[in-house]
Structure 1
Amino acid sequence: MSSDAWFHRVKAAQRDLIKIAGGIDRAAEISSVSPSHIGRMNNPRDTDLMPLSVVYALESECGVPVVTQAMAELSGRRLSDPDAEHKANVNVLTSYSELMQKAAALMAAGATAMADGIVTPTEAHSMDREAASIARGLSNFRQALAVIKATGGAKAGLKVVGE
């Protein structure tokens, strides 16, 4: 990376952070820095970089580590979410549970419709609605599984509570 490339990357991240924070005036309010100073930090041709206290204040307010991520990337690193693995496992369990509930609803609607040996248009519509719900649920479940596969799976595994 050229000697100036890092500077332009950080300046771009600062501009993004100021925009996410709500603009120059809002960023100044959050960070207790004057709007003119925030404006210089926002100007791509100005050499002013944000002090760490400003970066921290704005990123904390926005919940998005824009400048921190840029700095990590410049060092050949990346940020990770410490809760991502847990969230991935919860998403698999939740989406699987929802999918099974939708399948049960389809089976119940089908059993009711077919009990008399005749499926009416209204009953067909009801079963079709449940089948469409399963299709959406299956897509969510497959997405949750893809996240687990991409992240290498849970190290601690899933546990049954109460055993």
Structure 2
Amino acid sequence: MDAFLFRVKAAQRDLIERCGGIERVVTICGFSKSQVGRWNSPNDPDLMPIGAVVALERDCGQALVTSVMAQANTRRLTDPDIERAQEVCLIRNHSELMRQSAELAHTVAMAIEDGQVSPSEASSIDRVAAALEHAASNLRAGCAVIKARGGQASQLRVVGEGE
């Protein structure tokens, strides 16, 4: 498989996870458990049909597979509902991004420790990188809301301030 197919497979696994796992995906799509298991397996070349992708992305509210396909054609999807980030907390978003970054560093370090990165380790790295990408997207969405509002007061306060 080429890199694009590995990215699609990773997006499929993320989509299945965010929709509640294999059993729930079977219920949503009507495909067999073994078929959904093949979509979920990083070692199986089976790809989801478009109808299943649309149904699952609608269910979880995230265009994971569609985004990979858009990126393969040098395009990017935008979220038409930027108001979903109305209750933005820049500090929380930044904190999650840093946590995911540390998790990625740890996962990569563990994978390269023995001088060999296995396909399983590469899948683990990819999974953590997807979470990091999601955290960065949330931070960027929050920044967009702040810019649209013309700024936002910082929620940080100095301990002992005003005493």
- For 1:5-154, what aligned pairs fall within 5 Å after superposition? 5-84=3-82, 87=83, 146-147=143-144
Structure 2 residue identity aligned to 1:77: R
Count of aligned pairs between the two proteins: 97
State the alpha-carbon separation in 2 of the partners of residues 30 and 8 from structure 1.
24
Quote the Cα distance in structure 2 between the aligned partners of 1:146 and 1:47.
38
> What is the root-mean-square deviation of aligned Cα atoms in Å?
2.9
Q: What percent identity do the matched residue pairs reach?
A: 47
Distance change in 2, residues 1:83/1:62 (3 Å)? closer
Q: CA deviation at 1:25?
A: 0.9
Q: Secondary structure at the match of 1:59?
A: helix
- TM-score, length-scaled by structure 2: 0.52
Aligned residue type for 1:147 = A
Unaligned 5+ runs, structure 2 = 88-140, 150-163
Residues 147, 26 of structure 1: alpha-carbon distance in 2 compared, 3 angstrom cutoff: same
Aligned to 2:115: none
Deviations 1:44-92 (A, max 9, x none): 11110000000011111111111111111121111112232xx39x77x
Deviations along 1:93-118, whole A, 9 cap, x unmatched?
Answer: xxxxxxxxxxxxxxxxxxxxxxxxxx
Counterpart-to-counterpart distance in 1, 2:20 and 2:12: 13
Name the SS for the 2:13 alignment partner: helix
TM-score scaled to structure 1, two decimals? 0.52
In structure 1, what residue type is equivalent to 2:73? Answer: S
Q: After TM superposition, which residue ranges in structure 1, 4 or more long, deviate above 3 angstroms?
A: none
Query: Which position in structure 1 is the counterpart of 2:99?
Result: none
Q: Specify the SS of the correspondent of 1:45.
A: coil
Letter in 2 for 1:22: G
Distance 1:18 1:40 in 2: 11
Q: Which has the higher contact order (CA 8 A, sep 6+)?
A: 2
Amino acid at match of 2:2: D
Aligned twin of 2:101: none
Please tell me whether Structure 1 or Structure 2 has the larger radius of gyration of its CA atoms.
Answer: 1
